[in-house]
């Protein structure tokens, strides 16, 4: 054990840990959920602290020995070597003060160790005076949210959505000549091709990719340098530009400073905007997953137009049953994303005066959504969609028996009489083609031409 002091007095904590007194207080005060902010966020905190140290060093404000030690410690945080020492619960002190101090203390104590000192000897490297120099929780936490979320979108979500879109496009080509019945209001509609249906899904995902990318662009504007309220108090006037330049170097991404640092600290609207785009993508994916479940329903008493790859037994009591488990999983993921977005919306509107104090829960839910959506989409694509097959004959049978083919008679008989043909076909159990020929509305050759399901699907 070792004893540390903070502004409230002495704190006892285990001798081996890198975190310090303020983190220990948070650990004691917030035993709420056991949930911690994820690896990506901790990495972003390391990036912020590394960039700040380099900026302050370049401005001649940080001793070179301290700079080198902090650089090494922050780099280790970026690499994930000290994740076990980031212990603060998600539900913590407002704005993320405890989370920021957790990073400051871990980096300071590791830097002290690098300088051959004893943990807690903050005369060598101080969490606030050195690691947190020219910074505040109020600008470092939103900056860490934006860096981590931007990288999660770029590295995980967009590639996953593109793989989904490409697989849907490939399937739309594969199934392009398979004619089937369309359905509106869950009732029979005019014929269409299975490839057209899946092509619609691919386009919807493509549009969501565009929306997510547009939303993620707002994450590039960072409030770092605004410090506590936006004035940049205790920071060199050049710090803002220096630290953003370092973040760009470290990440390789085109981050920039907020146009107005006061607004950037008062609000977390970039996180809100991104979450809203994820909610939109989730709604698209729910629609696709539900359609896959419907189209594969059966295998004998449902639509059974699609055959899904069997990945595991579907029942603990019904032998041989196989369920659309990957589509069900994707639905659950998307429901969670929508719930996360509601939390983020409530937390974002809680901004008051110069600050939003709900940032830790925003960070957790946003990164959680990005993680499960990325992994859920990939699992659905790889384990389900890529191996889906079509029952061509069943699709064709539905296309030929749908009563809505009577729509093709409108230009010949008019809407009213075409409806009578449709109703008679339903009453008698015959096809529209059979009724048309029996009533001598069209001969067999013309009926085949006018009512050909494939022709009715357009180009």
Helix (H, G, I), strand (E, B) or coil at 254: coil
Contact 338, 277 (CB under 8 A): no
- Could you read off the pLDDT of 85-113 as tens digits, one per residue? 999 999 999 999 999 999 999 999 999 99
Mean pLDDT for the chain overall: 97
Structure tokens at 12: 């006892």
Helix, strand and coil percent figures for the chain, each rounded to 5: 65, 10, 30
Mean pLDDT of 12-30: 97
Helix (H) or strand (E) segment spanning residue 364: helix 359-383
Instruction: Tell me, rounded to whole angstroms, the distance of Cα 355 from its chain centroid.
Output: 25
**pTM of the entire structure?**
0.96
Contact 424, 405 (CB under 8 A): no
- Could you read off the pLDDT of 320-374 as tens digits, one per residue? 999 999 999 999 999 999 999 999 999 999 999 999 999 999 999 999 999 999 9
**Could you say which of 136, 144, 315, 422 is catalytic?**
315
User: Which CA distances in Å does 69 have to 72, 84, 106, 114, 335?
Assistant: 5, 20, 12, 6, 45
Give 5's strand partners: 10
Q: How confident is the model at residue 261, as a pLDDT?
A: 98
User: Which CA distances in Å does 302 have to 10, 188, 359, 444?
Assistant: 69, 14, 47, 32
The DSSP result for 170-215, as a single string, is HHHHHTTT-EEEEEETTEEEEEEEHHHHHHHHHHHHHHHHHHHHHH
Q: How confident is the model at residue 459, as a pLDDT?
A: 74
Mean pLDDT of 178-196: 97
Task: Find where tokens 């977005």 sit.
Answer: 341
- Could you read off the pLDDT of 246-303 as tens digits, one per residue? 999 999 999 999 999 999 999 999 999 999 999 999 999 999 999 999 999 999 999 9
User: Which CA distances in Å does 320 have to 286, 309, 317?
Assistant: 27, 14, 9
315 is catalytic: yes
Strands 221-222 and 187-193: unpaired
User: Which CA distances in Å does 79 have to 45, 72, 198?
Assistant: 11, 11, 41
The DSSP result for 73-114, as a single string, is HHHHHHHTTTGGG---BSS-SGGGHHHHHHHHHHHHHHHHHH
- Could you read off the pLDDT of 431-440 as tens digits, one per residue? 999 999 999 9
Query: How far apart are alpha carbons 98 and 88 in whole angstroms?
Result: 7
Mean pLDDT of 121-128: 98
Structure tokens at 191: 């014929």
Query: How far apart are alpha carbons 459 and 79 in whole angstroms?
Result: 53
All domains in the chain, ordered by first residue: 2-133 (1.10.275.10), 140-392 (1.20.200.10), 402-457 (1.10.40.30)
Give 89's strand partners: 36
Cβ neighbours of residue 204 closer than 8 Å, sequence gap 6 or more: 284, 287, 288
């Amino acid at each position: 054990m070792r004893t540390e002091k903070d502004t409230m007095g002495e704190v006892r904590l285990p001798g081996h840990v890198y975190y310090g007194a303020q983190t220990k207080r948070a650990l004691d005060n917030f035993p709420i959920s056991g949930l911690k902010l994820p690896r990506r966020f901790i990495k972003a905190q390391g990036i912020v602290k590394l960039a700040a140290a380099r900026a302050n060093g370049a401005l001649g404000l940080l001793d070179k020995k301290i700079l080198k030690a902090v650089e090494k410690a922050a780099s280790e945080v970026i690499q994930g070597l000290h994740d076990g020492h980031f212990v603060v619960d998600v539900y913590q002190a407002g704005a993320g003060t405890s989370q920021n101090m957790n990073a400051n203390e871990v980096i300071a104590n590791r830097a002290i160790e690098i300088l051959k000192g004893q943990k807690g000897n903050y005369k060598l490297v101080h969490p606030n005076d050195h690691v947190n120099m020219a910074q505040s929780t109020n600008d470092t936490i939103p900056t860490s949210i934006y860096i981590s979320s931007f990288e999660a979108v770029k590295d995980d979500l967009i590639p996953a959505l593109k793989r989904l879109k490409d697989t849907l496009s490939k399937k739309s080509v594969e199934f392009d000549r398979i004619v089937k019945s369309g359905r509106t209001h869950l009732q029979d509609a005019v014929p269409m091709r299975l490839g057209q249906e899946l092509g619609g899904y691919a386009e919807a995902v493509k549009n969501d990719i565009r929306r997510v990318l547009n939303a993620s662009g707002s994450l590039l504007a960072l409030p770092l340098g605004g410090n506590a309220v936006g004035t940049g108090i205790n920071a060199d006037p050049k710090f803002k530009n220096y630290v953003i330049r370092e973040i760009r170097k470290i990440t390789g991404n085109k981050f920039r400073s907020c146009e107005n640092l006061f607004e950037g600290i008062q609000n977390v609207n970039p996180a809100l905007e991104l979450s809203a785009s994820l909610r939109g993508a989730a709604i698209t994916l729910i629609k696709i997953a539900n359609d896959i479940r419907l189209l594969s329903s059966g295998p004998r008493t449902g639509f059974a137009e699609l055959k899904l790859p069997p990945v595991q037994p579907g029942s603990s009591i019904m032998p041989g049953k196989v369920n659309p488990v990957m589509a069900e999983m994707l639905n659950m993921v998307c429901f969670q994303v929508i719930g996360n977005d509601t939390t983020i919306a409530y937390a974002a509107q809680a901004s008051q005066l110069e600050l939003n104090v709900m940032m830790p829960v925003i960070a957790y839910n946003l990164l959680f959504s990005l993680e499960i959506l990325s992994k859920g989409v990939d699992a659905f694509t790889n384990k389900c969609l890529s191996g889906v097959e079509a029952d061509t004959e069943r699709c064709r049978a539905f296309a030929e028996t749908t009563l809505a083919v009577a729509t093709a008679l409108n230009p010949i008989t008019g809407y009213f009489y075409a409806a009578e043909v449709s109703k008679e076909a339903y009453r008698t159990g015959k096809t529209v083609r059979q009724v048309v020929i029996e009533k001598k509305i069209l001969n067999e050759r013309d009926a085949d031409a006018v009512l050909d399901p494939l022709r009715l699907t357009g180009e």
